[in-house]
Structure 1
Amino acid sequence: MSKYPRDEFDKVPETSSRQGVHRERLIPSRSGSLALIITVGVLALVLGLAAYFVLPRLGIGQGEGASAPASNSSTPAESPESRPAGTETAEPAPSASPTPSASPSPTPSPTPAAVVDRSQPVVVLNASGIGGLGANVSALIAADGWTTAQVANWGGTPLQTSVIFYGNAEQLPNAQELSRVLGIPNLRESPEFTLVTVAPGPGFQ
């Protein structure tokens, strides 16, 4: 019993099951808690099944797994030092496609050999001062098939050696052949001479 005097709020019987007109029951019902737990468990199960079956089909999470075996491979790469002695690396097969061959370059035609024309007459001018030398030279070239057009003495500037004169390039083969026959190595081109002219000088043998 309370020691305070009773008032209008004390009219409620003390044995009543009511705890207060303005309060609600604070203890939750067990049936609501059980339903919440079941709902959460079902949602977790559905999410797990979806992650297990659906995500692999979408390709999510497979990139890292596919590259892992390559990076964690325990087989060492073969190096030239690790190969057994006598083992050679196979060379790649040559390509079967035909290699375009270079077009053959035209073969240069050989330069025609110089033609010696013994039908061209030769002039002999004695520049040695020795009488009869011109006639002897004329006889030597006649023995090789040449024709002497004139035999005379040299009337120009005295020569220090024997010379064979020719007027142009067409006469050069004849001059070279006479040089071989007479042993005179000195050849001079001069347009003043219309025919190949042999001028035996001092020391001619």
Structure 2
Amino acid sequence: MTNYPRDEFDRVPEFSTRVGSHHAHGWAQSAASKSTGGKLRWVVLTAVLVLVIGALSFIFGPQLKETLATSAESETSQSQEKTAESSEEAAPSESESPSSTIDDEDVLYGQLIGVYNAASVAGLANAGEEAMTEAGFTSVVADNWTKPAEVSAVYYMSEAYRTTAEKAAEVLNIDEVLQTSNIPNRVTVVLGSDDTLGLNE
């Protein structure tokens, strides 16, 4: 047997953990493999979750959108109805006429009242007389006024006839109620061209 001098390669420990060169860094490769597998698992799970959410959105999205739109329309409609109801309650109806503030017990329905046509409209005084009679006045005469008048008015001689004059004005839709002694009757109605009886409608 040939004896060779000992060199550094002869000083290898008896129990060595060294592996061959083809196994170099084996532990690093194993760790890298495990790390890559874990990352890949999370990527797959994320992709599956995204696909599930996308499928649910595709299936239920239109229905949910329609439901939300219907709910919004319903709330808007209810709000508009409440607003309309509030407006109707706040504003008096046009068909409702204001209640009279005149005490009928103070009205002299038997008092002679003259109704005069001051607008040169045929039948105006007779229409006023008819309206007064329908309202309960029993002594009404119709005639022509001596000069034309644009605004209708009811005149009374004294305070004792004021309520009766106001009632006559109410019946004939006249705003002007004036006291004067220069009239032919204690209560005198002068119908002007403002057409308070609505004959020209």
Q: TM-score, normalised by structure 1?
A: 0.42
Q: TM-score, normalised by structure 2?
A: 0.43
Which of these two proteins has the greater Rg computed from alpha carbons? 1
More helix by share: 2
